[in-house]
């Protein structure tokens, strides 16, 4: 049984200002890494991806393909506390817009961003680490071993993920998982990795990372990996 509660901004009068907050998720049981399959660092040509120039200063630490055993899905939006109320930013913009936003960020980075129209942009090559999961959560060293994917979405549990966006995500994760020999369970959400709470927002504790949120079809996307 899954327990949920409604999380509303202080003084909110309408249900649309609330979101369903799932109970804290235990750390996933990750499968043992399968035998090496000769992973290649390049994506299939059938995926259309906007990439920065090869000589772009990407940042991050070099790593080997053998270190990668997780794919972490995020949403751009997430809960913040403003004036004692839970607030979600609109997260408007395309994949390229948000990729370029990450390029200008000093502390945050990501491998891929997928827009609401299924558009895909890459910020960082897969064999460079990206800073998309803080190390204070359930698992450590997640950034070292994972590929991070951001979905452009408010992450509020109200905005649905368009089918074309999920289709693009499925194509990307199926292709990535095949190259690194990853099973469906290697695909995890940020929320499953980090259950830290902000002690007080308007008198209530606030779960810091809920993304990509309760509307994200995790098992459907995992099935795209198992179907390959």
By the rule CB under 5 A, 156 interacts with Zn ion: no
- From 92-100, 138-146, 184-192, 195-203, span contacting Zn ion (CB under 5 A): 184-192
What letter would DSSP give residue 141?
S
111 binds Zn ion (CB under 5 A): no
Give the nearer residue to Zn ion in terms of CB position, either 109 or 179: 109
Whole-angstrom Cα distance, residue 32 to residue 224?
20
**x/- letters, 64..83, toward Zn ion (CB under 5 A):** ----------x---------
* CA–CA dist 117, 92 (Å, integer): 12
In this structure, what token pair is assigned to residue 206?
A: 């606030």
- Piece of the chain touching Zn ion by CB under 5 A; list 90-98, 168-176, 195-203, 209-217: 209-217
Stated as kind and residue range, the H or E segment containing 122 is: strand 120-122
Alpha-carbon span 204 to 213, nearest angstrom = 19
Q: Is 207 in the site for Zn ion (CB under 5 A)?
A: no
Q: Are strands 120-122 and 112-114 parallel, antiparallel or unpaired?
A: antiparallel
Beta carbon of residue 9, minimum distance to Zn ion (angstroms, whole number) = 20
Please identify which residue in 190, 207, 208, 222 interacts with Zn ion, judged by CB under 5 A: 190
Q: Give the binding site for Zn ion (CB under 5 A).
A: 74, 190, 211
């Amino acid at each position: 049984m899954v327990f949920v509660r409604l999380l509303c901004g202080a003084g909110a009068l309408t249900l649309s200002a609330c979101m369903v907050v799932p109970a804290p998720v235990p750390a996933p049981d990750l499968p043992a890494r399968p035998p090496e399959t000769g992973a290649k660092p390049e994506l299939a040509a059938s995926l259309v991806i906007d990439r920065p120039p090869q000589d772009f200063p990407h940042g991050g630490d070099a790593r080997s393909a053998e270190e990668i055993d997780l794919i972490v899905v995020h949403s751009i939006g997430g809960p913040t506390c403003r004036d004692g109320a839970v607030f979600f930013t609109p997260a408007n913009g395309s994949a390229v817009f948000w990729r370029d936003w990450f390029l200008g960020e000093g502390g945050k980075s990501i491998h891929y961003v997928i827009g609401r129209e299924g558009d895909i942009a890459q910020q960082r090559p897969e064999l460079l680490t990206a800073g998309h999961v803080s190390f204070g959560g359930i698992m450590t060293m997640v950034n070292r071993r994972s590929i991070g994917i951001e979905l452009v979405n408010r992450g509020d549990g109200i905005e649905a993920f368009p089918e074309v966006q999920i289709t693009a995500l499925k194509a990307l994760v199926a292709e990535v998982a095949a190259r690194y020999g990853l099973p469906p369970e290697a695909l995890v959400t940020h929320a499953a990795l980090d259950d830290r709470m902000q002690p007080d927002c308007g008198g209530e504790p606030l779960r810091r990372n809920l993304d990509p949120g309760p509307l994200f079809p995790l098992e459907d996307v995992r099935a795209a990996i198992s179907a390959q």
